[in-house]
Structure 1
Amino acid sequence: MTSSPDLPPAPATWAWASAPQATQTVETEPLEYHRLLRGVQGYKWWKPLVILGLAGAFFLIMTIALSIAFIPIILAVDPSYLDDLRLGTTEIIETQRPISVVLALLSVIIMIPSVLLAMMIMGVRPTSRVWSVALRIRWGLLGRTTLFAILGVVVMNIVGVAFEAALEFYFPSAAVGSVAEYAGDSNFDPSAALLSFLFVLLLVPLQATAEEVVFRGLFMQVLGSWLKNPWFAILIPSVGFAMAHIYDFWGLAAVGLMGAVAAWLTWRTGGLEAAIAIHVINNLVAFGFMTAGLGGSTAQTESAGGVGSVVGEAVGLGLFAWLVVRSFKKHGYGRARIDLKLVPIAPGSLPVHEFLPSPQQVPQVEQQEQPRD
C-alpha cells in the first residue's frame, strides 16, 4: 500500500479553506435620537433609502388591501358614501358618517406595521429603536408628557378662541363658523356623532402615534444617518408633515409649527414620547370639536381656523415644551445611547484594546447619562 503524496496548501483565495476573520466589539460614539440608525450592525449609507422604499411599498399594499376589505362594509352600512365622495358632496372624513372616520384613521394606523416591517427586513434590530434611545417606549415619560399636553392644548384653545373673538369684534368679516350653525340643523344626528367620537377615542391614539413613527421617527432617523446637524432632521420632516395635510395657509402654518416643536422635543428628549403625547391630545380635542360641529363643520375641510389658531398653537406649544424639558431634566432621562458593534480586525493588526492607553493616561470625562424610565 503506497502513501499519498503531500498535498500543497490551499490558496488563500479559497474562501472555504481560509480561517474565519477575527472580529472585535467596539463602542459607537454617543448617538442622539436622530442618529440611532448609525448604531445598527452592518449600517451602510444606502440602507435607510431601502427602508424608506420598503415602508412605502408596504403602506401601498396595505392601503389597497384595506380599501378592498372596506368596500362591502361601506356598501352595507352607508351605501351612498362612495357616490357622494365621487360627486364631491361629502368629505373624506365626515363625522356624521362614522364609517368614514374608521376608514380614514385605519388608513393612517397601517403606517406603523409598514415602518416596523421595513426596518426588520433591513436588519434593524431591535425595531424598537424607532421609539427612543432606550429602545422602547418610556411609559413614565409618556404619562408625564400627556399631562403636560392636556394643559398645553387647553391653553392653546383658550388663547386661540380669545384671539379669534377679539378679531371678530374688531373685524367681523374675519369670523369663523360656530356651533350655532348646527344648533337648529335637523340633519345633525347626535347618534352618529357619538359613534364617531367613540371611534375617535379608540383609534386616534394609534393614528397620531403612526404619524409620529413616520415623520418624527423614520424620517428623522433616515436624515440623521447622513446629516449630523439635528436641524436638518427637525425642519425637513416638519415641512413634509405640514404638506401632508389639506388645510389652508393658517392651518398648514399651525400644523407645521406643531410638527417642528414635536421634532425638536423628540431630539431633545431622545424619543417620541412627548411628540406622541401632544399629537394624541391635540387630535382628540380637534376630532371632538368636529363631531359636535364646533367651528361650523362636522367634516375635515381645508379651513382650519385663522391666525388665532396659529397664535394659540404658539402659546400652548411653548408652555408644553417648557414643561417637558423641565421634567425631563428633573427625572434624569437619557437622550443619547452608545451601541456595541462587531467590526473585523484587519490581518496583521492588533485589537483596538491593545492600542488603548493606560487608565492613568485617560482623561476623566463626565459619565454618559443612561436612558431609564
Structure 2
Amino acid sequence: MIDSETLPQRPPEPQRPQETEQPEARPEPEPRPQGRSAPQLPPPSEQAYHRAARAIPHRRYWWRPLAALGVTAVVFVVLNIQVMAPLMILGEYWPAVATSVSMTDPLNPADQFLGLGMLALLVPAVLVGSLVGYGRAGIALSALGRFRWGLMGRVAVVVVPVYLLVNLVLNLILERDAIVVPQLGAGVIVAWLLTLVLAPLQCAGEEFVFRALPMQMVGTWLRWPLIGILLPVPLFVLGHGYTGLGIIDIAAFAIVMGLLAWKTGGLEIPILLHTANNWTLFAIAPLIPGFTEQGEVTVLGFLLAMVPMLLLAAGIWWWYSRRAGLGLWEPQRGWGQAPSSARAPVPAATAAPSAARTSRPLSG
C-alpha cells in the first residue's frame, strides 16, 4: 500500500484575481435651463418696403413702431427748438430777419427758411426714430437699406422735363397777365436760393413722415400695405389747406406716392416726383403774387396737376416692373441692408425651390 505522502504533490494552481463587475456608465442628465428659455430669433427674409422692419431679426416687434414714432416726435421738437426758435426770437429784435404775417411770402428769406426748413428737419427725425425703434435707419430710405441715387437719376431724365414744361412753361403762359417782376435785391435773391436748396429737403421730409413712418409702423403689425398708405392721407390733406378740387388732387397725390413707394421698395421716386413738382412751382412763385397760396383750385389747375402725375406714375410703375423682373402687382423686396451682407448662404439641399427667382433691385 503506497503512502500518499510519498507521491509527488501537484503544485497548487495560482489563484486568479476575482473580477469585479463595473457598474454601467449612465449618461449624465443634460442641465435644464433655469426659468423660461429665450425665444429664438426669426430667420432673416426679404420684405416689401412697408414690412422692412420685419427683415431685421428681433425677438419682439410689437413695441418697435411705437418707439420709432415717439423718438421721431421728440427729435423733431428738439431740432425745431434748437434751429427755428432762435430765428423767430431774433426776428423780434432785428426786422431784417423777421417773418411776414402769413409766413408764406416767397420773397421773404425768413419765411422760406422757416416754412421749408421746419419740414426738412423731419428727415433726420425719422431716420433717428427708425434707428432707435427698428435698429436700422436705412430701412426708412428703401427696403435695401440705402438711397438709390442711380434709380432717381434714371427716372429724373423723364420726370424733370415734364414738370418744367407743365409747371414753368404752361403756368407762365396761362398766368402771363399776373406776372410781376420783383425788384431784385439781396433779400429776394436769398429767398429764391433758399427755396431751391430747401425745397428738395422739404419734400423729402414730407415723404418720410407721411409715407415711410406710417407705412412701416402699420406694416410691422399687418401685412396689407393699403392700410399704411391710406391712413396718413387725411393728415396730408389737412396739412395743405386746399378746398374743393384741391382736396382731391392732394389726396390722389398722397395715395399715388404711397403706392410707388410700395412698388419700387423705397422713397426715391416719391421724393423725386414731389421735388420736381414743388421745385418748379417755387421757382416761378416770386413772379406771380399769390401763386403758391393754398385754397380753391380751378378745373384747369386740377387737370394740370393730376394728368401729368398719373401718367408719370403709371409709366414708372410699368418700367420698374420690367427692369426689376417683377410682376405688375409685385413689390420690390429687400433685406433691409446691402445685398452683399444681408443674406447668409443657404445650402442647396435646404434651399426652397421658390428661392431661385428673386427680384433684381434697381440700384445706383
Q: Which bin holds the TM-score, normalised by the shorter protein?
A: 0.7 to 0.9
**2 CA distance for matches of 1:361 and 1:273?**
32
TM-score (norm 1): 0.74
Contact 1:93 1:101 in 2 (8 A): yes
**2 CA distance for matches of 1:339 and 1:200?**
33
Partner of 2:43: 26
Structure 1 unpaired stretches of 5+: 1-8, 86-90, 166-177, 341-355
Contact 1:155 1:316 in 2 (8 A): no
Partner of 1:348: none
After superposition, residues 94-109 of structure 1 pair within 5 angstroms as: 94-109=105-120
1:310 aligns with 2:323: no
**2 CA distance for matches of 1:36 and 1:94?**
39
1:322 aligns with 2:319: no
**1 CA distance for matches of 2:168 and 2:122?**
33
Residues 226 and 196 of structure 1, relative CA distance in 2, 3 Å threshold:
same
SS at match of 1:216: helix
SS at match of 2:231: helix
Q: 133, 136, 142: which is aligned to 2:143?
A: 133
Residues 81 and 271 of structure 1, relative CA distance in 2, 3 Å threshold:
same
1:336 aligns with 2:333: yes
Partner of 1:92: 103
Contact 1:196 1:291 in 2 (8 A): no
Identical amino acids, percent of aligned pairs: 24
| Aligned residue pair count | 319
**Which structure has the larger Rg over C-alpha atoms?**
2
1:59 aligns with 2:76: yes
1:190 aligns with 2:184: yes
How far the C-alpha of 1:70 sits from its partner, in A, is: 0.6
Partner of 2:228: 233
Partner of 1:209: 204
Q: 267, 270, 278: which is aligned to 1:272?
A: 267
Residues 289 and 303 of structure 1, relative CA distance in 2, 3 Å threshold:
farther
Summarize deviations over 1:115-140 as a string: whole Å, max 9, x none.
Answer: 12222222x23211111111101111
AA at the equivalent of 1:277? L
1:37 aligns with 2:37: no
**1 CA distance for matches of 2:150 and 2:351?**
40
Partner of 1:288: 283
**2 CA distance for matches of 1:195 and 1:158?**
21
After superposition, residues 243-282 of structure 1 pair within 5 angstroms as: 243-282=238-277
Structure 2 unpaired stretches of 5+: 1-28, 326-330, 338-345
AA at the equivalent of 2:205? A
SS at match of 1:26: coil
